Amino acid sequence: MVDILGRSRIHVRLLDMVSAAATHDVEVLIQGPSGVGKELYARRIHERSQRAAHAFIPVNCGALPAELFENELFGHSSGAFTGARTRTQGLVAEAEHGTLFLDEVDALPLAAQVKLLRFIQQKEYRPLGSPRMQHSDVRIIAATNADLLEEARAGHFRFDLFFRLRVVPLEVPPLRERPEDIPPLLEHFLLRYAAEYGRPTVTFSDAALERLYTYPWPGNVRELENCARYLLCAHGGARVDISDLPLLPEPKPEPAPAAAVPTSAREPFQEAKRRVVDAFERAYLQESLVAHDGNIAAAARASGKHRRAFFELMRRHGLTER
């Protein structure tokens, strides 16, 4: 059974919403920044629902190439395309009577959104190359770190699919908005990984605890978990002071404007210009991602660029590993 820890009022309200969602066999849309544990909430809903005895199948929509969406979800029959020698069932069939969890649902291209909407509405699908429709008994829970309503208003996500998924909305706020949840989460991760690594746990100075409890945790629960893992690996059995917390970066100074980037009249104009532009783009991307808690869609929207173009800039500057 998935255990979600916390003691804030927000945490209690979230668990009440989870219980309500588990009781009713309807679609759920979980929204929140990266690292808050959206999949844990989805699993908790599944495990407390009437479908708990059946499969919970997570799907990362952001990792699905657009041309493979139908094949991955609905499967294919023998001979459906070159190389399809045998019949293969899709993820929908694997989740039969259970729950299909669609993470990063905002990443689906519009063509795939149409097919997903039709499947949710009609509860049936046709595997690629098959002449027959297949009935499906699957519950859909979707999640995103984007503002899906804004994505719909911008024309990047279908309004009808948004409202179809959002029967029960579940908003998971960032960890900085519920600091009361930090102590129980930190204790849980330290005990869990101390047992897993065979290491004694750590103790903290007052200054270190103050830093841990007031740090904004831009990576949310995932960052807190990895911090606990690091502390056990590097300081297991020892007393941790504030100087032992290298994973917690100090606030970054404002980046210098592009015009302040040093240039040299001895280098060709185009090379100097390219270097200045590269420095500006990288600084802008980094600051934009920090300002939006790592939410690429929100950062792209604020910048006035399409998400795919924004992501391509991130890739060009080596900022895509998160």
Q: What is the pLDDT of residues 250-303, one digit of tens each?
A: 655 555 555 555 666 667 777 777 777 788 888 888 888 877 777 787 788 788
Which residues, other chains included, contact 122 with Cβ-Cβ below 8 Å and sequence gap of 6+? none
> Across 2-16, 74-88, 178-192, 268-282, which has the greatest mean pLDDT?
178-192
Residues 180-187 have a mean pLDDT of: 97
Chain segment 119-129, per-residue pLDDT in tens? 999 999 888 77
CATH architecture of 180-244: Orthogonal Bundle (1.10)
Q: For residue 181, name the pLDDT band (cuts at 50, 70, 90).
A: very high
In whole angstroms, how large is the CA radius of gyration of the chain? 23
Residue 50 near residue 80, CB atoms below 8 Å:
no
Say if residues 6 and 184 touch (Cβ distance below 8 Å): yes
Among 89-93, 104-108, 209-213, whose mean pLDDT is lowest? 89-93
Average pLDDT score over the chain: 87
User: Is 103 in a helix, a strand, or coil?
Assistant: strand
Tokens of 170: 């579940």
User: Could you give the CA distance from residue 118 to residue 130 in angstroms, rounded to a whole number?
Assistant: 17
Q: Convert 176-211 to b/e letters by CB count within 10 Å (16 or more is b).
A: eebeebbeebbebbbeebbeeeebebbebeeebbeb
pLDDT at 171 (0 to 100): 97
Place of tokens 């989870």: 18
Average of pLDDT values for 73-86?
62
Cα 44 to Cα 12, 33, 52, 218, distances in angstroms: 14, 18, 9, 24
Region(s) of the chain under CATH 3.40.50.300:
9-173
Minimal CA–CA distance to 144: which of 24, 295, 21, 3?
295
pLDDT in the model for residue 322: 42
pLDDT over 80 (residue 317): yes
Q: Which pLDDT score is estimated for 79?
A: 47
pLDDT value of position 29: 98
Question: 249 falls in which pLDDT band (50, 70, 90)?
Answer: low
What is the third-level CATH fold of 9-173? Rossmann fold (3.40.50)
Q: pLDDT tens for residues 25-40?
A: 999 999 999 999 999 9
Q: Cβ(64)–Cβ(72) under 8 Å? A: yes
| Cβ neighbours, 10 Å, residue 122 | 11
Given a cut of 50, whether residue 68 has pLDDT beyond it is yes
DSSP bridge partners of 142: 29, 102
Span(s) in the chain for CATH 1.10.8.60: 180-244
pLDDT beyond 60 at 228 = yes
